[in-house]
Chains A and B, each alone.
Chain A
Amino acid sequence: MIDELSAAMKISGSGLHAQSSRMRIVSENLANAQSTGRTPGADPYRRKTVTFKSELDRATGASLVSIKSIGVDRSPFAVRHEPGNPAADANGYVKMPNVNPLLEMADMREANRSYTANIQAITQARAMIAMNIDMLRNS
């Protein structure tokens, strides 16, 4: 019984880890939303993406969640006319990162929601363990 419940805690823990890594990627993207290249015509920061996979934990037989890969977004860069910028090419155009703050915000909200749900699952499992222990105490 306790085994199952501690497996539940372990699974939720892996969920927390996955969602916080996702949050880290989101904040990386947001922080670098204006990071252009250094040399003329160089590529700016490329938006990072994170994908999850479910992974069988052999000790407990449960599916943990883990980071599958951290990839990059292949969508094209926006260009802006800014001849004074050190990254501007011969025509005065600067490539800007393909980060869309609105998209990142939506991603962040979703990560937050999943994180809360995982916390809730841990709280429940803890309450169940506490009930088991209380039974020992009362009898």
Chain B
Amino acid sequence: MEPVHLFSLASDQAKWLSLRQTAIAQNVANANTPGYAAVDVTPFQDVLDRTTLTLASTQPGHIPLPEMDARAAKVRKSASWEITHSKNSVSLEQEMIKAGEVNSAFSLNRNLVSTFGRMLTAAVR
């Protein structure tokens, strides 16, 4: 299954979606904070493009490079619908729409993974 990279890809996307949900929660919590600029994570495509090869550590002194961290996807200022007088750029409606997107993508992701998992189990059995 690994040549397809399905499971690692799905896991990366789930990580990315969780991070996006955190960014949304952060925006919603700070919806009334003066001067707060709304954030969003970089698109998943960019995260995929930045995925690099890892170096093998052949000597005990080698320091391993950090793995592709979903945190690397963090955070840029989002294109916001409105900026209020107090320089706050959170729009609750926009955040709710984003949360809906995240929820459906996450649901799709988890269902795909469990379907593939069932297929694997069926093949093994």
Partner-B contacts on A (CB < 8 A):
1-2, 4-5, 7-9, 11-12, 14-15, 18-19, 22, 51-54, 61-65, 110, 113-114, 117-118, 120-122, 124-125, 127-128, 131-132, 134-135, 138-139
Contacts and interface: CB of A to CB of B under 8 A. Distances in A.
Contacts of B47: none
B110 interface: yes
18 contacts: A4-B21, A4-B70, A8-B21, A12-B28, A52-B34, A54-B36, A63-B29, A63-B36, A65-B29, A65-B30, A65-B33, A114-B31, A118-B28, A121-B28, A121-B29, A132-B14, A138-B118, A139-B118
Interface of B: 11, 14-15, 17-19, 21-22, 24-26, 28-34, 36, 70-71, 92, 95-96, 99, 102-103, 106-107, 110, 113-114, 117-118, 121
Contact of B30 (A51, A52, A125): A52
B110 A132 contact: yes
Contacts of B19: 4
B92 A117 contact: yes
A136 to B, nearest CB: 9
Nearest to A2: B18
A135 B21 contact: no
Nearest to B113: A135
A62 to B, nearest CB: 6
Contacts, number: 120
Given A5-B21, A52-B33, A61-B71, A114 B103 contact: no
Contacts of B107: 131
A88 B33 CA distance: 40
A118 B34 CA distance: 17
A122 B18 CA distance: 13
